Amino acid sequence: MRIDIVSVVPEIFKGPFSSSIIQRAINKGIMDIHIHDLRKYGLGKRKKVDDYPYGGGGGMVFRIEPVYQCFDKLLSERNYDEKIFMTPDGILFSQKYANTLTCKKNLIILCGRYKGIDQRIRDHLISKEISIGPYVLSGGELPAAVVVETIARLLPGVLHNPNSMITDSFQMEKRGAHPIYTRPKIYKGWAVPKILLSGHHKKIKEWICQKSIQKKLDS
């Protein structure tokens, strides 16, 4: 799967993309991530990407030309399944939608900044608008990283143990994530449920099933 991310602060991705799951997905060739600095497509000597909003109001706005040029180059090279804009007023990102995205071959993710982006970019260049939650960050980079990591762990071959992903919260329609424990058996008097130490696989399975259904009912 190829993901092209368009941003004015590309250095933000160095951290999240150079360790753990996303790094593994990249190193294994399962995810091919390309970060594009929108400033390269900026206007004039100063490579300007933003301007004042027509009609006034605070904050700067992404101009359409740099985004158009960048998208035009990418679209001339391959077809994209979705051209996503990260925005707080988009559809709320979910595990279900992440599952859908794993079936795509090529994605573009545009990260906004400042007050936002010229509406014509949204109307003519973008196919999906995604929010990671009902709150406002300063840019679309962290939201894009959230989307990329959620997809990465779903792609076959990325997690060492795919069973772990199947039983995650939100992955199962009728179940939540069951409680999990590791060593020590007792810490400060807080004990691991006896059943998990019993070695009785059938009973353990039933306990896990019951707990995960209970979690869903409680949520």
CB of 53 to ligand SAH, least distance (A): 10
CB of 212 to ligand SAH, least distance (A): 29
- Nearer to ligand SAH by Cβ, of 136 and 217: the residue is 136
Report the alpha-carbon distance of residue 10 to residue 133 in Å, rounded: 22
| Shortest spacing between CB 42 and ligand SAH, in angstroms | 17
Q: Of 134, 144, 137, whose CA–CA distance to 108 is shortest?
A: 144
Q: Specify the residue, 89 or 173, whose C-beta has the smaller distance to ligand SAH.
A: 89
Residue nearest to ligand SAH (CB): 112
In angstroms, what CA-CA distances link 202 with 153, 192, 205, 207? Answer: 28, 18, 5, 9
CA distances from 12 to 143, 160, 174 (A): 11, 27, 37
Tell me whether residue 113 or residue 175 sits nearer to ligand SAH (CB atom): 113
Q: Which residues bind ligand SAH (CB under 6 A)?
A: 86-89, 111-113, 115-116, 131-133, 135-140, 143
Identity of the residue, 1 or 144, whose beta carbon is nearer to ligand SAH in the bound complex:
144
Nearest-approach distance from CB 209 to ligand SAH, in angstroms: 35
Give 33 or 84: the residue with its C-beta nearer to ligand SAH: 84
Q: State the minimum distance, in angstroms, from the CB of residue 138 to ligand SAH.
A: 6
Residue 131: count of CB within 10 angstroms of its CB: 17
Residue position matching structure tokens 């019993």: 198
Give the three-class secondary structure for 61. strand
How many other CB atoms sit within 10 Å of the CB of residue 146? Answer: 17
